[in-house]
Structure 1
Amino acid sequence: MLKTYLLGGGMVVFGLLSSEVIAEIPLMVNFKSIALVVVGTLMGGLLCLPMRAFGSLWRSVSASLKGQGHDLSDLIQQITILARLQRVCELREFSIRIAALENPFLRRGLQQALDQRDRQTVEEAMENEMAMYLSGLQSHLGAIHTFARLAPVFGFVGTIIGLINVLNHLGNAAQIGHGMAIALLTTFYGLLFANLVFAPLAGKLAAHIHRETLMLNIVIEGVLAICDDRTPLEISHRLQSFLENDTPQPEPELPADSHPWQKLGAVLRQRGMVR
């Protein structure tokens, strides 16, 4: 009963505060402040990230927002079927089935296994490809963190500009109020973009990276198990253990003075991506 009252009271208070905020929204809209924060943040990001990398950054963020990813249960079932076909099909027929696979990482791994038949060579090639792919995703995550750090900075820059404008019009009370409003609004927009745009994007992308890491590890383990000629049942149980033991890991904390992209090696070692 107490929880019900607390929940109801909280909803009433939230509704009252929300109505107050909504009523003040027209006063809080200033396109010059928004432009300063957004353009400044993007320009600062351009100094940290090559222009050609923005396309891949957008694709990574879009994939994380849409929840695009591989169904890991279906992937394990697919690898199990391939392990069974490898035992009963001829080499040519098995090669045709591999070429039709939609997962490019799995397709390339099995093709290397067929071409080389050297487990260590296949393992090294797949781990190198995984490390390069994940390093690209981690660089995108670092760029989002950079945007999150730059947005409040440019909000503060706007505040300084607004205060300078106030000092230049001390004799005009109306101009002083207008300048102070712009100064405070720019700081507000900087914090807003950092915490309601870039921080959630970073969280989404980090979850996407974790999911992709799990998928790549499953594929590598499955390909190597096929190379070792393990039974389909054994491969299935072994790969299912990845899903059963999957626990999302939080992003490692960085010192305040470190650059976001410097954490790449630590992240890869912490998550077992690099041996």
Structure 2
Amino acid sequence: MDIAALLGIILGLGAIIGGNVLEGGNAAHLVQLVAGLIVFGGTFGATLLSFSARDVVNAFKSISVVFMRQDHNPLETIQSILGILVKARKMGLIALEGELKNVENPFLKKGLTLMIDGMAPAMIKEVMYQEIVTYEERIKKSAKVFESAGGYAPTIGIIGAVLGLIQVMQDVSDPSKIGSGIAVAFVATVYGVGSANLVFLPMAKKIMNRMNEEIQLRELIIEGIIGIESGVNPYFLKMRLNAFLDESKRVGE
């Protein structure tokens, strides 16, 4: 679980609800079923109109990327690659076939499999970079779904507020009810602006950040695979792979 993501949502919602209570408001007044139906139903409908159902489903699946920690550790990956390189230099590439079962990263395992099968380094690089391109396109589209939802929600919130005001203005015979009616109407605006800036847009940003981290790791793996196949000196390969990381996170030089 990514504590930062969970804490961000809790703090964001808590600040709004807490601020409302501190100003003398009632948190229960922020719970309006009709406003939620208009804002979230309308936002979902507009998003479905903009993207295919498959894209929207993939976007919802990517929510796990936001709240779950990534299993892949660049430092551990470099150490694993260097260990494989040492074995390859001693026993040959074919001997690495027995090591595949110990490799947890699927992208690294695929690269090693292609290498053991005898594919040329240039072809391995081309195939694996194409996988990165395909992955990037898919994740960017998922992020775009949430980004679009973040654009639609505030506007639909305003529509909900206007609809609420129309209902209030249709019955002005009791002035005492006008104030509370207007307050209820503007809950839709809170839902729209709040969901956009506390949920949809931050999630899109987090998905993109995760994608960039994964792409960096995959590029590191490709460099490692090519280094293993060429039999480069482990020290030189370590230096090359360390260049992908911040100085504070590098394998000891």
1:199-254 superposed Cα distances (whole Å, 9 cap, x missing partner): 221232122112111111111111122222211221111111110279xxxxxxxx
Q: Distance in 2 between matches of 1:82 and 1:50?
A: 43
Aligned 8 A contact 1:37 1:154 in 2: yes
Q: Distance in 2 between matches of 1:178 and 1:195?
A: 26
TM-score normalised per structure 2:
0.82
Q: Distance in 2 between matches of 1:118 and 1:211?
A: 27
Aligned 8 A contact 2:147 2:204 in 1: yes
The one-letter code sitting in structure 1 at the alignment partner of 2:172 is L
Which of 166, 179, 182 pairs up with 2:181? 179
Q: Distance in 2 between matches of 1:99 and 1:36?
A: 51
Residues 1:44 and 2:46 are matched in the alignment: yes
1:131-160 superposed Cα distances (whole Å, 9 cap, x missing partner): 101111111111110111111011011012
Aligned to 1:250: none
Q: Distance in 2 between matches of 1:174 and 1:89?
A: 87
Q: Distance in 2 between matches of 1:183 and 1:23?
A: 15
Aligned 8 A contact 1:158 1:186 in 2: yes
Which of 79, 82, 85 pairs up with 2:81? 79
User: For residues 215-226 of structure 1, what are the structure 2 equivalents within 5 Å?
Assistant: 215-226=217-228
Q: Distance in 2 between matches of 1:21 and 1:63?
A: 36
Q: Distance in 1 between matches of 2:67 and 2:110?
A: 27
Aligned to 1:253: none
Shift in alpha-carbon separation, 1:27–1:230, aligned structure 2, 3 A = same
Deviates more, 1:148-157 or 1:20-29: 20-29
Aligned 8 A contact 2:21 2:27 in 1: no
Shift in alpha-carbon separation, 1:53–1:100, aligned structure 2, 3 A = farther
Aligned to 1:20: 22
User: For residues 92-103 of structure 1, what are the structure 2 equivalents within 5 Å?
Assistant: 92-103=94-105
Structure 2's unaligned 5+ residue stretches are 1-17, 249-253
Q: Distance in 1 between matches of 2:55 and 2:215?
A: 21
Indicate the percent of aligned positions where both proteins have the same amino acid: 27
Aligned to 1:151: 153
Q: Distance in 2 between matches of 1:224 and 1:42?
A: 45
Give the drift of 1:78. 0.5
Deviates more, 1:75-84 or 1:170-179: 170-179
Deviates more, 1:16-25 or 1:125-134: 16-25
Aligned 8 A contact 1:69 1:212 in 2: no
Aligned 8 A contact 1:28 1:185 in 2: yes
Q: Distance in 2 between matches of 1:131 and 1:121?
A: 15
Deviates more, 1:201-210 or 1:213-222: 201-210
Figure out how many residues of one structure are paired with residues of the other and give that number. Answer: 231
* Partner secondary structure for residue 212 of structure 1: helix
The one-letter code sitting in structure 1 at the alignment partner of 2:38 is L
Q: Distance in 2 between matches of 1:65 and 1:143?
A: 17
Q: Distance in 2 between matches of 1:230 and 1:57?
A: 41
Shift in alpha-carbon separation, 1:17–1:112, aligned structure 2, 3 A = closer
The one-letter code sitting in structure 1 at the alignment partner of 2:179 is G
Give the drift of 1:96. 2.3
* Partner secondary structure for residue 68 of structure 1: coil
RMSD after superposition: 2.3
Aligned 8 A contact 2:103 2:109 in 1: yes
Give the drift of 1:193. 0.6
Give the drift of 1:161. 0.8
Q: Distance in 2 between matches of 1:112 and 1:17?
A: 57
User: For residues 237-252 of structure 1, what are the structure 2 equivalents within 5 Å?
Assistant: 237-244=239-246
Aligned to 2:134: 132
Shift in alpha-carbon separation, 1:161–1:76, aligned structure 2, 3 A = same
TM-score normalised per structure 1:
0.76
